[in-house]
Structure 1
């Protein structure tokens, strides 16, 4: 394929970065390996992002939008409050768990990544609380259950390496049962 120019957009860079994070962690996420994985030059990278810092900002915004805002919107689109719990549970199984575990490590090392991680956690906790509040009357119980739900996801990502989706499914089934036990 010598002489053929490969065209990739920001989305492919983000997907490539998440794959590197999942496989190699933060230490593997660098411009050269990312470009090599995509079959592009570093010039392409700089054309899209201007700098490493620009890439990091764009990657984190993409992650926040795709793995939080999109999931929240899909769950909220379900009319039945009880069904929203099931939908949210099913969507939680689809996030890139290994990459997110690496992002948490990165967040401990980089304040900008840490702020993005905190925003994602806050958005997810608030979304779970809204979903749980649809079937649990007591706002304090709904708040605690939302914290528990987020703790289940984060704890799974940090302790189940490599992630076993069946284990997460069981944990989320348990969480759903606890939520339903507190239903009106």
Structure 2
């Protein structure tokens, strides 16, 4: 039986898993090849350089961790239903991937650009939903979206001492304070 030929998508999925488990050190070409049981030739058949891979990985993260969630949330009819669906999906994301991507952005300018764009996309989407709810004007919807997103990212990035369940509980309390629990 022939070995499975890795596609570009396989390399990117492998990278997200490696990023979650080992952080930026897990997404070197050598580490990825070892993890996937593949050769550097296999890697270079899909990516010209390691830098090109990291950029593609950041875009893959954007697609999987932002755009797909927005698409799924947009199936809700009312803004509050869409926000609730988005909250549920966001709380199920692997925060280790988000943490790893942000650590990777600290050392790679292209990844940093994608992270910045993702942050802006997420905030804009939240602000749009808050405006559409009819409870907030444009200025307050944007301010609330920024606060909500900062809380979401903050709970992923810092150890509050509450553990994963405690962080989710704290985030739910935050949502309740904004009238959304």
Unaligned runs of 5+ in 2: none
Residue 46 of structure 2 corresponds to residue 48 of structure 1: yes
1:74 is aligned, of 72, 80, 85, to 72
Mapped to 1, the partners of 2:162 and 2:41 lie a distance apart of 35
- CA 1:20/1:121 → structure 2, altered by over 3 Å: closer, same or farther? same
Aligned to 1:20: 18
Instruction: Tell me the residue number matched to 2:166.
Output: 167
What is the aligned partner in structure 2 of residue 113 from structure 1? 111
Indicate conservation of the 8 Å contact 2:151/2:171, yes or no: yes
In structure 2, relative to structure 1, the CA distance for the partners of 1:45 and 1:162 (3 Å cut) is farther
Q: Quote the offset at 1:113 in angstroms.
A: 1.2
The CA distance in 2 between the partners of 1:63 and 1:43, in whole Å, is 24
Query: SS state of the match for residue 49, structure 1?
Result: coil
Structure 1: gaps (5+ residues): none
Query: Which residue is equivalent to 1:127?
Result: 125
Q: How many residues align?
A: 179
Q: Distance in 2 between matches of 1:178 and 1:133?
A: 17
Tell me how far apart the structure 2 counterparts of residues 72 and 114 of structure 1 sit (CA, whole Å): 21
**Segment of structure 1 superposing worse, 32-41 or 162-171:** 162-171
TM-score between both structures, scaled by the size of structure 1 = 0.87
2: distance between equivalents of 1:122 and 1:147?
9
Deviation at 1:44, TM superposition (A): 0.8
What TM-score does the superposition give when structure 2 sets the normalisation length? 0.88
1:136-165 deviations in Å (ceiling 9; x for gaps): 232222111101111111101111399944
CA distance in 2, matches of 1:33, 1:79: 44
| Structure-2 residue corresponding to 1:94 | 92
Which ranges of 4 or more aligned residues in structure 1 deviate by more than 3 Å? 160-165
What is the alpha-carbon distance in structure 2 between the residues aligned to residue 51 and residue 123 of structure 1? 27
* Structure 1 residues 129 and 171: alpha-carbon distance in aligned structure 2, compared to 1, 3 A threshold: farther
- Residue 145 of structure 1: aligned partner: 144
Q: Residue deviations 1:6-58, cap 9 Å, x none?
A: 31212221221112211221123211111121121111111111221221121
What is the alpha-carbon distance in structure 2 between the residues aligned to residue 133 and residue 179 of structure 1? Answer: 13
* 1:180 paired residue number: 179
CA RMSD in angstroms, aligned pairs only: 2.2
